[in-house]
Structure 1
Amino acid sequence: MEIIATSSPLGSEIFALVSLLVISIGVLLLLRHYLPLRSTPAYLTVPIFFALGLPASIILLVPIDLASNARNQDAGSRGIWLPKGVLLVSWRISYWLTFCLTWFILPILAEYSDAGYRDPKDRLLYSLRSNAKYQAIVLGAGIATMIYILVSYGVHVDSFKATLMALAYCWGLVLAIYLMGHGLVAIPRSLFRNASISGRLKRIQVNAVKVHDKMEDAIQNLEDLEAQVAELAKRKTGSATQYRDWIEELADESHLPESRPRTLSRRMSAPEVNVPHVITDRYLADLSRKLTRGRHSRARYLDEWDHVLHEATDVQAILDSAASKRIDIGQAAPDAPFMERLTIFTPYTRYLYKYWCLPYMRVFLGCFLSLASFCIVWSEIIKSINPYLSIIALTVVHHPTSEQGMIGFAGQVIAACWILYMCAAALTSLTEVKVWRGRALVKRNTHGESAAWYALQVSKLSVPLAFNFITFLALDIYERTVFYDFLGKLINLTDIGTWFNWLFPCFILVPVCAALFNLYGKVANCTGFGGVIDDDEEENESGYGTGSWREGRDLIERELQGHSSLGRLGQTSVDRRPQVPNNPNNRAAPTLSVPRAERAGSPAQASTTRASTAALHSGPKEPEDENFFEAFGHRVRNTLDTFQAPKLFDGVKRPKWMGGNDDSDAGGSGNDFTKWFGGSRDGRVRL
């Protein structure tokens, strides 16, 4: 679809305004999904909104800038275009607001919300002290860069602005290239892995062990902190009296450990509570900060555990539907949302969709995104050699010799999709690489400091990725854009900046190869931080204590059956199927089917049952000192023990001299054929 050429940008301006409105609504819905808006203060909500909305608008602004300047001024444009003055104002507002949010506003507000002090002045001073080291490093790098620019370029009005922009771009590009390279491999690989239903269930069960352990640790840590608050509340004299209001506030917000069920092992392993004799505001602030982080950590792992239960029950239902050709999800609760109560599929069509369609769709989408990842990596490498061989440039520029513009509406849509995928690959890696001080996004319960930190990373990565994208195109195209006049000229002000902008993206091969060949796992194994013992490990056949899928399967089954070690009992529906805890629509979750021979309630029972099952099928193991005749006799006895008597001998009684019983011992009454040869009940043969 192409827009009719016109000399008036009114239609394009309306389109841009409607797009900004849609982006704003999407950002609000995203904030509502992850943040409790009623309890989150406005000093966090408003900056986070702009930190997410401005990068999203940049994804829209780059294609408009490309089409607006790659056109003939007299013949109009094929796509959405805006005047140069409007574009320049838009770039100034978007860039400098993003810059201030990234380097000054959000870091200070994040530490302010996590300070733990009650007085706003003390919280601000704590935030400034926490950011002092970070700001000192930034200031030192800025001074060194400014000296280099002044020596190379001379004293000029743009020297200070070039220092700020070049530093922000270089640091953002280093982080963006690493994260994007990892995400370009991780996203298609996750789609390929999830295409296998049984493999997906096994990975969920392996992950269940890790999540369950972290959840228990988080609950234990929070209970210890709340016990410390309870002990502190008993202080009626000394230095605690001047902080009585603060201590009572902490006690009111805490749920004492006695109010929650605790297992025997957790009661016996509870550490002694040590409260200092002299209470200070710094100690109380540190305790408040730990309590806040502990509550959010507990909420995070409880949410992850519930998510694991939902996924496990859903995937198990898909596997179980192979025989019945039906997937029943039960009835939704009357107070559930409309979208939860709306069911489009019948049980049979739901089976076709989930069992057959979704796996093939994942494979197709994985192949498509793998091709897209290859195009991005290829374009990063080839642009410094010959930009005309860039695959991305060929998909965006559709009319290279047209007077109405080389980039039309279709090219703008494709360009926006490319930038969106690059940003998604980089941001997805933020949630996978667990080196961010325990920060996480939790549905409706994200910590304010974590939300500000993630918004900071989004605003930090958006501008470098957007400018890196336009360098995929030909030089005569992107040099005419307002974005290049505003940012690119200052980055290329010195020779080091020019070479860095052209050559550093080639290092994307490092994270791509590291993720593609599992270099992280190999390094972890070499350093002793490796993962799970193989399922075929002979020394620990049950797999307990190793984080195997068998242990995760039993944990999930016990939770769904209401036998959780945490005291979080599952409910039971009308049809007697266990339900997932905290299920918003209260639908009954399908029961996990576990083979009877391996069903167990404890690791010891599991290993005993598995050993007895193996002995039943293969017989007792032969001792090493057993001779040939003893081994042959044991094999004959096992053969006779499992031999079924033919129906021909039904009703024939065994004579008394063979040890028979006239009353009840018929030849066909038992399954032990050795009784015919004088065998006793313990399997020995009478000679």
Structure 2
Amino acid sequence: MSWIPSGLLSTPAASPTPVGSAIFLSISFFVICLLALLLLRRFLTLRATPGYIILPVFLALVLPASVVLLVPVDLTSSTRDGDAPKGVWLPDRAILVLWRITYWLIFCLTWIILPLLGEFVDSGYRDPKGRLLYSLRSNARYHLLVLGCGIVGLVYIIIQNGWEFKSIRGLVMAYAYMWGLILAIYLMGHGLVSIPRSFFRKSNNANALRRIQTRAPKIHDRLTDAITELEELEAQLSQLQQRKTGTARDFEEWIDELADFSSFPDSRPAALHSIAESTAVPAIITERYLADLSRRLQRARHQKSRFVDEWDRLVQSAADYQTILNSTASKKLDFGLTGADGASPSKRGLVSPYMRYVIYVNLLPSIRLILGALFAVASFCVVWSELIKTFAPQLSIISLTIVPHPNEAGHVRLVGQITSSMWLLYMCTAALKGVNDAQVWGNRALVRRNTYGESACWYAGQVARLTVPLAYNFLTFFPPEIHLETTFYRFLGQYIDLTPLGKGFDYFFPIFVLLPVCATIFNLYGRIKKVFGFAIVDDEEDAEANPGGFGVGGWREGRALIERELIGLGSLSLTQSSVDAGRSTSSNSTATARRGGHGQRPSERPSRGAAAAAATTGPADTIARPVVGGEDVVDDEGFFQSFAHRVRNTFETTSTPKWLQGDLSGLNRPRWLAGEGGGSASNNNSRPDNNDDDGVLGGLFGGRSTNGHVRL
């Protein structure tokens, strides 16, 4: 305990001061800022992204993370009895100020700043004034709808409590909390099942490869659609750029600026010409039309980069799993990692190929099983605490892990603070997992180093929107004598409990966490997809529904698509303008080209996909079927079916001999049978005075070449 600052532990002094706690919180806040910057660097290009986007997104990540740190401090500070507790604590006034700053900053970011910035970036207009007006109009529609719903509650509050600023402020806070709690409970319920399930599924390498192959056709179709949509828009822009008369001359600079950021598919001019003929450009070009075209181009470019990145990662994961499965025979695992000097990893690294095989084949699956079991237990504890807190809060498992004896002392010590931070972090992670899995957000997605600005603002807003309701919901797990004394309750809870409707909603609505939990466990989303034809979340139940993999969209089709990509015949290589369709390239150069040809960041492991391709493919002009270890990936056919297929393939692939086809050019014959001019049929037939009717049988009956002489 020597590493804990002096203010963290109780001292016999009469007036304790939280100097050590303040220093510890300052260092923790600095670490949170560094982690937020690293997260931004992973999904955004910091140098190319404007500062007016980076700063709000940065605050929208730092402030919710500070809430995860501030809730345990509030618990410890509110349960102390005048003395310095054994943990991180602050005075009540300081905690109240921190809660006010954090909450109202998050509120403004969530409901005002980030929505305006998102529409500002996605407007498509060229000048800032047009972007701002478009953003204000778009957000005004949404806020008018929210205001229309809030008028009913405002009338109810005025009738009950009168016209007071405190009542109106409480109504705004209660509405924001209720909407956030509805979204958070649904997404958290899905994530509580999805997180342990993902660890269980990845514990079996063969099943993980099968699921990747099952997802491949869907991702490939989306990538193809994104490329086609972008080509249609760029063809329309190319047709618009060629127009030099009429209203197009007024926007010539704008059109040229859009063309500078476009990459026309010069390698396929015929396809571009056919697309340009199918697109129609209006006779009168307006500013609204160009803004709409700019907005569609921006979305199409980022949609393409999104699916290019997703397809690239899927192919790389499939190649890695295939390499792991193929290493079962040799007991050596080598992903093809090479350094700048060309040295093999066994010579320059600390992990040998055999040790790497032990880690990936034996150790990592076991660790994933253990983590899956731990997260499953944690999910059960969260669901149990949500269900039991209304009837018997003293039986809440989360509360008992933080305050083991609430009736005796009720103090939250340092160990309880660490435990409460871990519980709250897991609940927020489950909710964000649900945000990532849901498919109702349109074209929004997080792409490594190339995230669209509007998507970054939207995801940051969701992080800020979900954290505060989950934090207050976490406090309700504790008995009333603990959570009613917290500063967070006096700041936010009293406004939520302003009306009986708000109090009942806070205590009874979290019971509906069973709805998304059961829907995820029993694959209700897959049934909805089959009935209505659309998917709510990205479920992976297709592998269980079609274990044979036959038909369109099965894992067999996905395996073929991945193999074609690994040998350089897939979608990523065919969409490059510098690659000839008829030229065969090596696996190593193809892997490098498909990572660098679309503006993506070059892979740090360029030869890893090539090694997997060499392990899973045969010659360059054929697609070899990978040898997969494990019984789950073997083809579903019996011995007699396999024997029948082999016999049928033998007869179907056998070519007819040339002498049965009437082609005798390849048969050699003696000089005495070939005549005076040559010793082979090919040489004889190559002579200009040769008769087409001459041949071996013709020579036997006098049909030889006479060279212009009369034969007696």
Scaled by the length of structure 2, the TM-score of the pair is: 0.80
Q: Counterparts of 1:349 and 1:269 in 2: how far apart (Å)?
A: 54
What are the superposed Cα offsets for residues 423-459 of structure 1, whole Å, 9 maximum, x if unpaired?
0000111111111011000000000000000011111
Q: State the shift of 1:76 in Å.
A: 1.7
1:390 aligns with 2:399: no
1:471 aligns with 2:467: no
Give 2:668's aligned residue: none
User: 1:256-335 counterparts in 2 under 5 A?
Assistant: 256-258=264-266, 260=267, 272-334=278-340
Name the CA shift for 1:335/1:167 in 2 (closer, same or farther; >3 Å). farther
- Native 8 Å contact 1:117 1:123 kept in 2: yes
Name the CA shift for 1:400/1:183 in 2 (closer, same or farther; >3 Å). same
Give 1:413's aligned residue: 418
Q: Aligned match of 2:171 in 163, 166, 189?
A: 163
Q: Counterparts of 2:481 and 2:642 in 1: how far apart (Å)?
A: 78
Q: Aligned match of 2:550 in 530, 543, 546?
A: 543
1:354 aligns with 2:360: yes
What are the superposed Cα offsets for residues 5-30 of structure 1, whole Å, 9 maximum, x if unpaired?
13120010001000000000100111
Q: Aligned match of 2:141 in 122, 126, 133?
A: 133
Q: State the shift of 1:571 in Å.
A: 6.6
Residue type of the alignment partner of 2:21 = S
Q: State the shift of 1:213 in Å.
A: 1.1
3-state DSSP class of the match of 2:282? coil
- Native 8 Å contact 1:13 1:82 kept in 2: yes
Give 2:643's aligned residue: 617
- Native 8 Å contact 2:230 2:297 kept in 1: yes
What are the superposed Cα offsets for residues 612-656 of structure 1, whole Å, 9 maximum, x if unpaired?
99766148999xxxxxxxxxxxxxxxxxxxxxxxxxxxxxxxxxx
Name the CA shift for 1:537/1:391 in 2 (closer, same or farther; >3 Å). closer
Q: State the shift of 1:399 in Å.
A: 5.3
1:511 aligns with 2:520: no
3-state DSSP class of the match of 2:257? helix
Give 1:176's aligned residue: 184
Q: Counterparts of 2:341 and 2:31 in 1: how far apart (Å)?
A: 29
User: 1:597-612 counterparts in 2 under 5 A?
Assistant: 601=623
What are the superposed Cα offsets for residues 522-557 of structure 1, whole Å, 9 maximum, x if unpaired?
12222345899879989xx8835x111111111111
Q: Counterparts of 2:36 and 2:195 in 1: how far apart (Å)?
A: 23
3-state DSSP class of the match of 1:257? coil
Residue type of the alignment partner of 1:163 = L
- Native 8 Å contact 1:78 1:409 kept in 2: yes
Residue type of the alignment partner of 2:406 = P
Give 1:587's aligned residue: 607
Q: Counterparts of 1:177 and 1:542 in 2: how far apart (Å)?
A: 35
User: 1:415-494 counterparts in 2 under 5 A?
Assistant: 415-494=420-499
- Native 8 Å contact 1:571 1:579 kept in 2: no
3-state DSSP class of the match of 1:591? helix
Name the CA shift for 1:212/1:399 in 2 (closer, same or farther; >3 Å). same
Residue type of the alignment partner of 1:34 = F
Q: State the shift of 1:332 in Å.
A: 3.5
Q: Counterparts of 2:206 and 2:458 in 1: how far apart (Å)?
A: 36
Q: Aligned match of 1:34 in 40, 43, 46?
A: 43
3-state DSSP class of the match of 1:146? helix
- Native 8 Å contact 2:322 2:616 kept in 1: no
Q: Aligned match of 2:108 in 100, 106, 116?
A: 100
Q: Aligned match of 2:52 in 35, 43, 48?
A: 43
Scaled by the length of structure 1, the TM-score of the pair is: 0.82
- Native 8 Å contact 1:554 1:600 kept in 2: no
Gaps of 5+ in 2: 596-602, 626-634, 649-712
Residue type of the alignment partner of 1:378 = W
Name the CA shift for 1:347/1:211 in 2 (closer, same or farther; >3 Å). same
What are the superposed Cα offsets for residues 211-257 of structure 1, whole Å, 9 maximum, x if unpaired?
11111111111111111111111111100011010011011111112
Q: Counterparts of 1:426 and 1:555 in 2: how far apart (Å)?
A: 33
- Native 8 Å contact 1:532 1:547 kept in 2: no
- Native 8 Å contact 1:577 1:588 kept in 2: no
User: 1:139-150 counterparts in 2 under 5 A?
Assistant: 139-150=147-158
1:69 aligns with 2:90: no
Residue type of the alignment partner of 2:153 = T
Give 2:688's aligned residue: none
Residue type of the alignment partner of 1:379 = S
- Native 8 Å contact 2:236 2:276 kept in 1: no
3-state DSSP class of the match of 2:514? helix
- Native 8 Å contact 1:188 1:366 kept in 2: yes
Q: Counterparts of 1:85 and 1:571 in 2: how far apart (Å)?
A: 69
Q: Counterparts of 1:621 and 1:330 in 2: how far apart (Å)?
A: 38
Name the CA shift for 1:342/1:120 in 2 (closer, same or farther; >3 Å). farther
3-state DSSP class of the match of 1:284? helix
3-state DSSP class of the match of 1:276? coil
Name the CA shift for 1:511/1:309 in 2 (closer, same or farther; >3 Å). same
Q: Counterparts of 2:137 and 2:617 in 1: how far apart (Å)?
A: 58
Residue type of the alignment partner of 1:588 = R
What are the superposed Cα offsets for residues 390-419 of structure 1, whole Å, 9 maximum, x if unpaired?
00000111453676x611111001100111
Give 1:525's aligned residue: 530
Name the CA shift for 1:37/1:613 in 2 (closer, same or farther; >3 Å). farther
1:15 aligns with 2:24: yes
Q: Aligned match of 1:207 in 215, 218, 221?
A: 215
Q: State the shift of 1:331 in Å.
A: 3.6
- Native 8 Å contact 2:214 2:542 kept in 1: no
3-state DSSP class of the match of 1:180? helix
Name the CA shift for 1:522/1:271 in 2 (closer, same or farther; >3 Å). farther
- Native 8 Å contact 1:399 1:407 kept in 2: no
Q: Counterparts of 2:516 and 2:541 in 1: how far apart (Å)?
A: 23
Q: Aligned match of 1:124 in 123, 132, 135?
A: 132
3-state DSSP class of the match of 2:442? coil
3-state DSSP class of the match of 1:422? helix
Residue type of the alignment partner of 1:233 = Q
Residue type of the alignment partner of 1:416 = S
Name the CA shift for 1:118/1:557 in 2 (closer, same or farther; >3 Å). same
Q: State the shift of 1:154 in Å.
A: 3.1
Name the CA shift for 1:305/1:280 in 2 (closer, same or farther; >3 Å). same
User: Could you say what the CA RMSD is over the residues aligned between the two structures, in angstroms?
Assistant: 3.2
Q: Counterparts of 1:620 and 1:448 in 2: how far apart (Å)?
A: 55
Name the CA shift for 1:221/1:489 in 2 (closer, same or farther; >3 Å). same
Identity of aligned residues (%): 47
- Native 8 Å contact 2:235 2:272 kept in 1: no
3-state DSSP class of the match of 2:334? coil
Q: Counterparts of 1:402 and 1:79 in 2: how far apart (Å)?
A: 18
Give 2:631's aligned residue: none
Q: Counterparts of 1:484 and 1:600 in 2: how far apart (Å)?
A: 67
1:187 aligns with 2:195: yes
- Native 8 Å contact 2:95 2:487 kept in 1: yes
3-state DSSP class of the match of 2:139? helix
User: 1:199-278 counterparts in 2 under 5 A?
Assistant: 199-258=207-266, 260=267, 272-278=278-284
